[in-house]
Amino acid sequence: MHGLIEGLKTRYERSPTHHKLEISEITEIISLSRLPGMPEVASDLHSVHCQKLCDLLDPDSQSKGVPTSEALRAKCQKLEDPVDHSALQATFGTSDGELPTLQSFINDLRDSKHSCIQGPAFAPACKSVMEFLDRTEPAKIDANELHTVLSALWEEAEIRDFIRPFAVHLPALLFHPTCIIVCVEDALDHFPSGCDIQGLLWTAMKRLMKLSKGRSYILAVLARSLRKAVFAHPYAIKSLRGGLPFDDYILDFINNPASIGTEFLFEVVAADKLQQYLPHRTYASYYGMREWHAYAAVIDILHRIPNDPYVSSPETARNILDELELPWEDQKPPVAVKCPWKNTFQLQAMLLMSHYCVDDINVEIHLDYLTRALVVESWPRYRYLLEWAIARIYRRFPEFTQRILIELGNLEEYSPIHIASLMKIGLLVAPYETQDFAVEFITHLNSYSASPKVQIRHEANFAVPIVFDIAIEKGWKRITGNPAFVGMNAFIRRLDKFNASPWTIRTLKVDIEEDFTLTGIFQGRYLSIETPEPELVTHEDFEALERDDQSDGFNPPPARIALGNKIKPSFDVVTPAKTTPVPTTTTTEPTGQITLQTKAGIDLDNLHPPGGPPSMQNARPASVMLVASLIDNPTNLGGLSRISESFGLEALYIDDLKKVAHKDFKATSVRSEKHLAINELKEVGVPAFLLDAKSKGYEVVGIEQTDRSGILGTEDGKNDVVDEGMIRKEARSQDIGTLPKKCCLVLGSEKEGISAEVLAVIDRNVEIKTVGVTRSLNVQTAGGIALYEWWREWGNSKA
Ligand code: SAH
């Protein structure tokens, strides 16, 4: 419609004389304005568009007496009015010029048979009750009367099915601090009124929580109102004493985040347009605040829950923390990379709450819980937050840091991921530790740098220079003066991988103290790196909350965590828009050392040649994709091209398509590249690519020697003959060694094998059993053997 209007305008500017429309044509355009099923703003915008179109096509359509044009005109006229009438003064109880009382309101309800709160009168009625609550001492309010009035309004909204013009006014009214105080005091009273005001608020809270899941505009008003309610009375969160089930609310908010329906996103855009015609019709005038204000309010509750020993409201906070931790701690390996119940917000909340919920008495329990969650977790972002939380607990209770060193000394007892976790945590606490700790720690790192297990070696290598830097800064001579550490530090710094751009979360530095601010937790770099995740809330949202408190004269209890500095957007950091789905983009290569790769999201379709994926173009017989992006030697890539083509794969992915033209590539590929889809997939894009492949039904299998790998071709997932004293003594359960029918196979780089960040998203690994002393096979050989095995398993099955 907008396009038509603009087009016609331009045309008339060029030639003012134009063809007049027939009545039937105008009627048809007008009938468009009655399209059913559109949400509010879209429908209003549509009416404005229809009216504009009619005016343009035929400025005097009114005179022609088109019957329906009247209705359209009338609707557009009404749009000039405010969105709701809450700005208008309600009439109840003010006839004698006195301040309204609840009794006068009840009289009005009775006399008008509730019509004084119906339809457009609802919003002004809510507003005047709120004004009354604002101005009246809770002690002067009769619980029974308040209950009557609130029930009447609640029922009215219920009759109207809680449609938007009703629902948006309820939270601020029902959970008004005065209502909460009246409710709690009544429950504590020796002679309670007997009315069930707590029951009403309870029901309303549950109902509105549920409604907010589908109607995102309720989220922010509800959260903002409940936030004020929590702070209204020390017993507000003690449900046995007349308070409300805040723990349920908060847990539900964090664990089952509301999704923002596309129709609301469309309303946002429609409101933006409508506002250009009618400036008072903003999104907020219909729906109030956007969802992120809900997050700001809930987080604000979390870090301000009052610490009143007599009421022991931290009890509630502790329960919330325990409930959040429980499912994480309770996971049994192997843990899937993406579990539907897990989300980043849970960990952010745990990090925030552990700050004040962990004390002398429960510190070991929390350390155990969080560590247990960490050592089975593979998703880098989750690991990052768990490590941060654990390190902060050690920081606050340094008497326990010996645990890190003791466990690091027990290589036999722990899995590689556990050891890697311990090293990371040691690294995080090192700046706040003593020289003794650091010396013992770097000694362990030195040994682990020689580990045959990639994961451990990577972690140890990466940590050494960082600890060394800390030692220089602190003047820890026992480290800086020790030739073994000096040599190790110098050696690792010369490795390419140490100097590579920090595009993974694993190498992202965090200062567990300085970064521990609301902004650091909710807008840290770790959210925009690797597979970016939308920010739930920003610095500005917390500021908005503070500003609104000031203008309302509302004084919340003191904050426990600083807001922190505003994030300066660096030139190449693209922050995904809040609440919109993570956009997928093709990755670009990090140019030079300093470019920070922030978006690893990759659009699979962009990688395929036009005309769809190769599997469709030219039905290749093996439903297998081979990812060779970690490999850089052109000879090896040429060999893999030959193998992939020979075994009929769907596609081969390599880091740089230019390599196909390299003479060494050609020497081994023997023109196989002409008959095979070879696509470019940058190394940085591999984790995102693999996640995407999984969503398309591929199982992602690494061809790699890891401590968990299944032996290729064996089904039971056990190492068939375990030689005492040889490679593996641990009776750990292994992955199975057969290959899935539809799979994405990943090979590792010649030097490093499969990197830790890629391992993190791989479903399972298989390894080729060898008996000689040579450490590993050439990558071409490994690829060839794996593909032969795929055909052995699936060759006879029908496509
Ligand atoms: N990780 C080895 C070197 C990697 S060899 C090391 O630390 O020395 C290069 C790649 O070939 C590996 O990443 C893996 O994908 C594959 N590979 C080599 N030998 C293998 C074997 N026995 N089983 C499975 N994959 C193997």
Do 182 and 221 lie in one domain? The reply is: yes
- Is the residue at 326 inside a domain? no
Torsion of the alpha carbons at 706, 762, 492 and 447, rounded to the nearest 10: -30
Indicate the residue type of 516.
F
Residue 765 falls within a domain, yes or no? Answer: yes
Domain count, the chain: 4
671 and 761 assigned to the same domain: yes
**pLDDT at residue number 87:** 59
Residue 344 forms part of a structural domain: no
d(CA 747, CA 753): 8
The CB of 705 under 6 Å from ligand 1? The reply is: yes
Question: What number does the ligand 1 atom closest to the CA of 770 have?
Answer: 22
Q: Determine the atom of ligand 1 nearest the C-alpha atom of 769.
A: 22
At which of 582, 612, 644 does a domain end?
A: 582
CATH code at position 640 = 3.40.1280.10
Residue 382 CA, ligand 1 centroid: distance in Å: 28
> Do 516 and 410 share a structural domain?
yes
Q: CA distances (Å), 604 to each of 408, 446, 494, 504, in order?
A: 41, 41, 35, 20
pLDDT single digits (tens) 409-436? 987 778 888 898 999 999 999 999 999 9
Q: How far is the centre of ligand 1, averaged over its atoms, from the C-alpha of 753 (Å)?
A: 6
* CB-ligand 1 contact for 779 (6 Å cutoff): yes
For ligand 1, pick from 629, 706, 776 the residue to mutate: most ligand atoms within 8 Å of CB. Answer: 776
Using CA atoms, how far apart are residues 651 and 326, in angstroms rounded to an integer?
Answer: 42
Residue 597 lies in a domain: no
**The pTM of the whole model exceeds 0.85:** no
For 604-662, what is each residue's pLDDT tens digit? 223 333 333 334 444 568 899 999 999 999 999 999 999 999 999 999 999 999 999 99
Ligand 1 centroid to residue 62 C-alpha, Å: 80
List the domain range (segments joined by +) for residue 692: 624-794
Q: Which three-class secondary structure state does DSSP give residue 710?
A: strand
For residue 632, the CA-to-ligand 1 centroid distance in Å is: 14
Would you say the CB of residue 704 lies under 6 angstroms from ligand 1?
Answer: yes
Closest by CA position to 129, among listed 176, 82, 84: 176
- Mutation to probe ligand 1, out of 704, 745, 775 (largest number of atoms < 8 A from CB): 704
CA angle, corner 619, sides to 617 and 621, nearest 5?
155
Domain co-membership, 404 together with 450: yes
Residue 781 has pLDDT above 50, yes or no: yes
Please indicate, yes or no, if residue 688 is contained in any of the structural domains. Answer: yes
Q: What are phi and psi of 588, to 5 degrees?
A: -115, 150
Is 378 domain-assigned? no
Question: 490 Cβ partners below 8 Å, 6+ apart?
Answer: none
pLDDT of residue 62: 57
Is 768's C-beta closer than 6 angstroms to any atom of ligand 1? yes
- Establish whether residue 775 lines the binding site of ligand 1, counting it when its CB lies within 6 angstroms of any ligand atom: yes
| Domain match, 114 and 61 both | no
265 is a domain residue: no
Residue 77 near ligand 1, beta carbon < 6 Å: no
CB 291 within 8 A of CB 220: yes
Ligand 1 atom closest to 750 (CA): 9
- Kindly give the distance from the C-alpha atom of residue 449 to the centroid of ligand 1, in angstroms, as a whole number: 18
Name the amino acid, one letter, at 521: I
777 in ligand 1 pocket by Cβ < 6 Å? yes
Q: Which of 448-462, 515-529, 699-713 has the lowest mean pLDDT?
A: 448-462
Please report the atom of ligand 1 found closest to the CA of residue 457.
7
Residues 690 and 541 in one domain: no
Q: Is the pLDDT of residue 25 over 70?
A: yes
771 lines ligand 1 (CB under 6 A): no
Q: Which is the closest atom of ligand 1 to the Cα of 748?
A: 13
Closest atom of ligand 1 to 777 CA is: 19
pLDDT number for residue 154: 97
Ligand 1 centroid to residue 794 C-alpha, Å = 24
566 and 429, same domain (yes or no): yes
Looking at the structure, tell me whether residues 490 and 404 fall in a common domain: yes
Ligand 1 centroid to residue 704 C-alpha, Å: 5
Cβ pair 239, 199 in contact under 8 A:
no
Closest to 527 (Cα-Cα) out of 424, 381, 385: 381
Determine the distance separating the centroid of ligand 1 and the alpha carbon of 300, expressed in angstroms. Answer: 49
Same-domain pairing of 69 and 196: no
Distance 777 CA to ligand 1 centre (A): 6
Determine whether the shortest distance from the Cβ of 630 to ligand 1 is under 6 A: no
Q: Are residues 667 and 719 in the same domain?
A: yes
DSSP collapsed to 3 states, 371-439:
HHHHCCCCCHHHHHHHHHHHHHHHHHCHHHCHHHHHHHCCHHHCCHHHHHHHHHHHHHHHHHCCHHHHH
- Ligand 1 centroid–CA 656 distance in Å is 21
702 CA distance to ligand 1 middle (Å): 10
Q: Which range has the top average pLDDT, 16-25, 86-95, 136-145?
A: 136-145
Q: Are residues 479 and 525 in the same domain?
A: yes
**What is the reported pLDDT for 100?**
75
Confidence bin at 58 (pLDDT 50/70/90) = confident
Question: From the CB of 781, is ligand 1 less than 6 Å away?
Answer: no
* Residues 699, 744 within the same domain: yes
Summarize pLDDT for 693-735 with one digit per residue, the tens.
998 889 999 999 988 899 999 886 554 444 444 444 344 467 8
Q: Which helix (H) or strand (E) holds 747?
A: strand 743-747
Chain position carrying tokens 């059993």: 769
The reply to whether ligand 1 has any atom less than 6 angstroms from the CB of 754 is yes
* 546 within some domain: yes
* Contacts with 203 (C-beta within 8 Å, 6 or more apart), sequence order: none
Q: Is the peptide bond before 558 cis (omega within 30 degrees of 0)?
A: no
